[in-house]
């Protein structure tokens, strides 16, 4: 029987949190394996990042990801691009199963971010498979623009996506359930100044259908049901921690293992509403330095 390869540290995730941890581990001469699908992470979606030090004019998410991946390369760090399907903990070791392989780690850093909240209404999954409905913007860049988009949501991400799509000449309607938006006032002001973006308040989406090349939304506005139509729909109604791969047994031990210093949760996966790049990077750095301290 071939034994899975063993590492002092396994990192799961390839967003800002794990990338920062990986660079610090490398600088500290600690060997590790970094497994991540979709290198760069969620920030690739950002229209303009303005709260990161070092970028006085702000930077697009796409350019930021390109820089951090170059930084990884300059440190000769490679990402095993694979999806982790299961993680279990037995006899003081972590057993990590990916689509292609199995590995064992003495310590583990989990920076797997968040998953989008779904609406759970009819035809949502079908439209997603048909690339008519999206939860992120980064996979839409190659779509021939301009188009008519409907964004469902009222937070920072919904408003950021609207600005991004409008900058590519698309027409955008934001549908929000209540009268007011939860987005930063700065984003609301920017959206208000752009004629291609319309905001409709007090609208609940009841149903989604595909009619030839369009998506038709049945919505309730006040006491009335009406139909709206768009080329594509983007759903941005929140996100939740991504830990689907943890076994039930490991999930029940997470808090103890964090206290013992063998398991680290970094970035959005644990940061609740404090989901920001600088915080994620700080978490990654903290985890790597704590591990170095334990090895000394």
Ligand X SMILES: Cc1cc2nc3c(=O)[nH]c(=O)nc-3n(C[C@H](O)[C@H](O)[C@H](O)COP(=O)(O)OP(=O)(O)OC[C@H]3O[C@@H](n4cnc5c(N)ncnc54)[C@H](O)[C@@H]3O)c2cc1C
Contact 200, 168 (CB under 8 A): no
Return the beta strands (E) in the chain as ranges.
Answer: 5-12, 32-35, 84-90, 93-98, 102-110, 114-116, 133-134, 148-152, 171-175, 197-200, 203-211, 214-221, 224-230, 232-235, 239-241, 263-265
3 state DSSP class of 287? helix
85 sits in which H/E element = strand 84-90
Burial class (CB in 10 A: 0-12, 13-18, 19+), 73: exposed
Interface residues with ligand X (CB under 6 A)?
12-18, 35-39, 41-43, 45-46, 49, 51, 83-84, 111-114, 157, 160-161, 242, 245, 267-268, 275-278, 280
Which single residue is written with the structure tokens 């006040």? 222
CB of 72 or CB of 219, closer to ligand X: 72
CB of 225 or CB of 249, closer to ligand X: 249
Torsion angle defined by CA atoms of residues 143, 146, 150 and 154, in that order, rounded to the nearest 10 degrees: 90
CB of 219 or CB of 267, closer to ligand X: 267
CB 278 to ligand X: min, Å: 6
CB 221 to ligand X: min, Å: 26
CB 268 to ligand X: min, Å: 4
CB 175 to ligand X: min, Å: 17
CB 206 to ligand X: min, Å: 25
CB 291 to ligand X: min, Å: 17
Tell me the angle at which helices 16-27 and 277-295 cross, rounded to the nearest 10 degrees: 30
CB of 94 or CB of 245, closer to ligand X: 245
CB of 63 or CB of 122, closer to ligand X: 63
Contact 24, 284 (CB under 8 A): yes
CB 131 to ligand X: min, Å: 19
Structure tokens at 231: 């080329």
CB of 37 or CB of 207, closer to ligand X: 37
3 state DSSP class of 88? strand
CB of 38 or CB of 173, closer to ligand X: 38
Question: Comparing C-alpha atoms, which of 138, 196, 190, 193 is closest to residue 159?
Answer: 190
């Amino acid at each position: 029987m071939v034994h899975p390869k063993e590492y002092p540290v396994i990192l799961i995730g390839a967003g800002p949190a794990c990338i920062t941890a990986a660079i610090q581990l490398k600088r500290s001469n600690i060997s590790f394996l970094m497994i991540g699908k979709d290198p760069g992470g969620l920030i690739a979606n950002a229209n303009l990042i303005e709260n990161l030090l070092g970028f006085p004019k702000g930077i697009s998410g796409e350019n930021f990801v390109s820089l951090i991946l170059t930084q990884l390369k300059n440190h000769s760090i490679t990402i095993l691009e694979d999806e982790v399907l299961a993680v279990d903990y037995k006899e003081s070791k972590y057993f990590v199963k990916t689509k292609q392989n199995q590995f064992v780690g003495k310590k583990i850093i989990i920076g797997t971010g968040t998953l989008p909240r779904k609406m759970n209404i009819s035809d949502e999954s079908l439209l997603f498979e048909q690339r008519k409905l999206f939860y992120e913007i980064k996979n839409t860049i190659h779509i021939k623009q301009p188009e008519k988009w409907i964004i469902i949501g009222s937070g920072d991400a919904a408003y950021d996506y609207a600005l991004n799509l409008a900058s590519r000449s698309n027409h955008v309607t934001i549908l929000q359930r209540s009268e007011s938006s939860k987005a930063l006032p700065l984003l609301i002001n920017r959206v208000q100044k752009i004629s291609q973006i319309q905001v409709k308040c007090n609208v609940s989406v009841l149903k989604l259908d595909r009619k030839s090349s369009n998506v038709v939304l049945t919505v309730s506005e006040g006491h009335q049901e009406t139909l709206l139509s768009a080329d594509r729909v983007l759903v941005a109604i929140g996100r939740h921690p991504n830990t689907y791969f943890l076994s039930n047994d490991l999930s029940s031990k997470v808090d103890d293992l964090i206290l013992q210093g063998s398991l680290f949760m970094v970035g959005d996966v644990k940061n609740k509403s404090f989901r920001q790049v600088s915080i994620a990077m700080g978490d990654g750095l903290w985890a790597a330095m704590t591990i170095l301290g334990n090895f000394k």
